[in-house]
């Protein structure tokens, strides 16, 4: 073989190895990235309930990452109640640090609640609490999908 062919093969092998290492680091980061999701009832009116979702992104790795603004979906049972709008916004999470997203405000109409999840209203009337499933979906470094599911209880409940 000529020296040129050996050089091309060597460069290709180094590039492939670098790509594999990059993908392994991204995979590790997706397992280590932590999201803390907090939900609160922002307001209740005759038209419906307005919820505020705050998401904190925590990065325990040694390199900063860019994460897209999370997409949030609220579910009760198997029914999706409401989901957030998609935003093409990058959030930089520093190495060994955390970053907060802008608050995500979701409105659920009372008519929508009564028709899609009547059991939710019944449970709320009986206990004074709303137990919802919150799915957070985002992308790390524009290439690696990340999702997390949390169960959140809203409201203080009724005293016995």
pLDDT in tens, 87-108: 899 999 998 999 999 999 999 8
Q: Which pLDDT belongs to residue 7?
A: 64
Domains detected in the chain: 33-154 (2.60.40.10)
Sign of the torsion formed by the C-alpha atoms of 140, 143, 144 and 149: positive
Does residue 41 contact residue 155 with C-beta atoms inside 8 Å?
A: yes
Q: Please check whether residue 110 is in contact with residue 82, taking contact to mean a CB–CB distance below 8 angstroms.
A: no
Contact by Cβ (8 Å): 86, 71: yes
Positions of E strands within 17-69? 34-45, 48-59, 65-68
pLDDT of residue 72: 93
Q: What is the pLDDT confidence band of residue 160, given thresholds at 50, 70 and 90? A: very low
Please state, in angstroms and rounded to a whole number, the distance separating the CA atoms of residues 49 and 70: 21
Higher pLDDT, 7 or 157: 7
Specify whether the backbone of 134 is left (phi greater than 0), alpha (psi in -120 to 50) or beta: beta
In this predicted structure, the answer to whether residue 67 has a pLDDT above a threshold of 80 is yes
Distance CA 8, CA 108 (A): 59
How confident is the model at residue 158, as a pLDDT? 53
How are beta strands 130-140 and 71-76 bridged, if at all? antiparallel
pLDDT at 23 over 60: no
C-alpha 30/C-alpha 152 separation (Å) is 22
Confidence at 154, pLDDT banded by 50, 70, 90? confident
Residue range 3-30: mean pLDDT, rounded: 58
Q: Are 126 and 157 in contact (CB under 8 A)?
A: no
């Amino acid at each position: 073989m000529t020296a040129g062919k050996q050089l091309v093969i060597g460069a290709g092998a180094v590039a492939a190895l670098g790509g594999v290492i990059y993908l392994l680091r991204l995979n590790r980061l997706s397992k280590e990235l932590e999201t803390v999701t907090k939900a609160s009832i922002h307001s209740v009116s005759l038209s419906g309930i307005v919820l505020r979702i705050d998401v904190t992104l925590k990065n325990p790795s040694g390199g900063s990452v860019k994460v897209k603004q999370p997409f949030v979906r609220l579910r009760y049972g198997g029914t999706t109640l409401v989901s957030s709008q998609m935003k093409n916004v990058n959030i930089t999470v520093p190495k060994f640090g955390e970053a907060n997203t802008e608050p995500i405000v979701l409105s659920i109409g009372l008519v929508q609640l009564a028709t899609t999840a009547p059991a939710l209203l019944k449970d709320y009337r009986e206990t004074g609490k709303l137990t919802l499933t919150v799915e957070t979906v985002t992308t790390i470094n524009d290439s690696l999908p990340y999702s997390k599911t949390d169960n959140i209880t809203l409201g203080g409940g009724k005293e016995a």
